Structure 1
Amino acid sequence: MGYQAHFRVWRGDADGGDLHDFTVEANEGEVVLDIIHRLQATQCGDLAVRWNCKAGKCGSCSAEINGRPRLMCMTRMSEFAEDEVVTVTPMRAFPVIRDLVTDVSFNYEKAREIPAFSPPKGVAAGDYRMHQVDVGRSQEFRKCIECFLCQNTCHVLRDHEENKPAFAGPRFLMRIAELEMHPLDSLRENTGADRTEVAQQEHGLGYCNITKCCTEVCPEQIKITDNALIPMKERVADRRYDPLVWLGNKIRRRRT
């Protein structure tokens, strides 16, 4: 059974814009993206919106719905009362291109800065072997669909534009944690670089104050803070401030 839904959608571009009110038909079982598509088809054919799979797996339709970063295709209309105004705005942490479409190229730039997986020397790709327990440690992080909702909600990026050059954000710190947990990653042996120190010194791990807002908005329910960021911050603290670790490193350096 259908009803008339009340939507408030941001329209504009990089030079500015405003919220516009619409009344549009909504039907049982629909999601916010369905309503946006109907709005395009019936009232504003030039409304810009990014989407692809409509199944919560491509990460394309990220937006802010009633102020919360969400996927439009995974936000059911049944979550809202029929007389409630549903406000849809673009992600706030990234520059607006037009309407609900933002420029997320910042994220791809950060991705390119992270050292790639570095396999052990002398081992062919088909000869890699891992225990299932090692696979399981980082399997969770590979569920990431790169919707960048975690990047958008992280206040280090969202509220402080000046931090962006020095801070990779939760998605890419999680990527470093995933590689650091990989038992076959030999970046340190191959290049001398330590992934934990790279995260701290080059990608701003120290900026993160573990508010867990990134975990709260993740559509894949990845425990970004608890399972990636906090353990990596703990390893940084151990290496820098644990007196036993410091003494062990000192002895090791003397022997070499």
Structure 2
Amino acid sequence: MGYKAKFRIWRGEGGEGRLEDFTVEVNEGEVVLDVIHRLQATQTPDLAVRWNCKAGKCGSCSMEINGRPRLGCMTRMSTFEESETITVTPLRTFPVIKDLVTDVSFNYQKAREVPSFTPPADVKPGEYRMQQVDVERSQEFRKCIECFMCQNVCHVIRDHEENKPNFSGPRYFIRIAELDMHPYDVAERKEPAQEEHGLGYCNITKCCTEVCPEHIKITDNAIIPMKERVVDRKYDPLVWLGSKIFKRQR
């Protein structure tokens, strides 16, 4: 059975905006994105929202629903009380373009700053041979759909604009960790993670892990092990000496 739901949605452009109230029909089995589409079709056709797959795999419909970052296409209306007012706002960390659409170009800039997979010069494409254990070690990190909700809740970015030039954020720490674990990647990842991408700024509050829709253990499986490897490399005298004497073996 359908019912009428109360929605409060942020409307505006740039840094100026306001919350507007709507009453809209909700049908059984619908998600928040369904309701937003109904609002576009029936009440406010100029409401801007970014979306693509509606299957929880593209990450484009990230928004804050009742103050928590969520995917609009994966947040079921059945999780809310029918009498509840549902507040929908854009991701807070990134500049608003219009309504629920934010400018996430910061993340693409950081992606370009991470050197790509770098195999040995004497190994040609098609000649890579990996043990299954090596595949499984980094498989978790490849599930990332780049919804950027982990970036949104990271207080180093969210609360400190001045950190953005020197801090890549959790999404790119898992990318660096994945490459560092790859048996055929020969690029140096540890020192740049600390010196160029700001790994030391992270104080492992695990807020990024809590909002990940793919349930990637960002903190436990990527950031903490990477921090440990950086510390070993930089401060363990035996590791430091070995790095000076021997080339890294892959």
Q: TM-score, normalised by structure 2?
A: 0.96
Equivalent in the alignment of 1:90:
90
Any conservation in 1 of the 2:15–2:95 contact (CA below 8 Å)? no
Paired with 2:208 and 2:178, the residues of 1 have a C-alpha distance of 16
Shift of 1:160: 0.7
Equivalent in the alignment of 2:111:
111
The C-alpha deviation readout for 1:121-178, integer Å capped at 9, x for no partner, is 1111011110000000000000000000000011111111110000001001110110
Any conservation in 1 of the 2:70–2:211 contact (CA below 8 Å)? yes
Paired with 1:15 and 1:160, the residues of 2 have a C-alpha distance of 17
- Is 1:144 the counterpart of 2:144 in the alignment? yes
Paired with 1:224 and 1:9, the residues of 2 have a C-alpha distance of 30
Shift of 1:248: 3.8
Overall identity of the aligned pairs, in %: 77
Shift of 1:15: 3.8
Equivalent in the alignment of 2:48:
48
Over 6 Å off, 4+ runs: none
Any conservation in 1 of the 2:69–2:91 contact (CA below 8 Å)? yes
Aligned length: 247
Equivalent in the alignment of 1:204:
198
Q: How does 1:8-23 map to 2 (within 5 A)?
A: 8-23=8-23
The one of 208, 212, 217 aligned to 1:218: 212
The unaligned stretches of length 5 or more in structure 2 are: none
Q: Give the residue type in structure 1 aligned to 2:57.
A: K
Secondary structure at the aligned position of 1:22 is classed as strand
- Is 1:227 the counterpart of 2:227 in the alignment? no
The unaligned stretches of length 5 or more in structure 1 are: 188-193
Equivalent in the alignment of 1:242:
236
> How big is the alpha-carbon RMSD for the aligned residues of Structure 1 and Structure 2?
1.2
Paired with 2:242 and 2:139, the residues of 1 have a C-alpha distance of 32
Equivalent in the alignment of 1:99:
99
Single out whichever of 14-23 and 244-253 deviates more from structure 2: 244-253
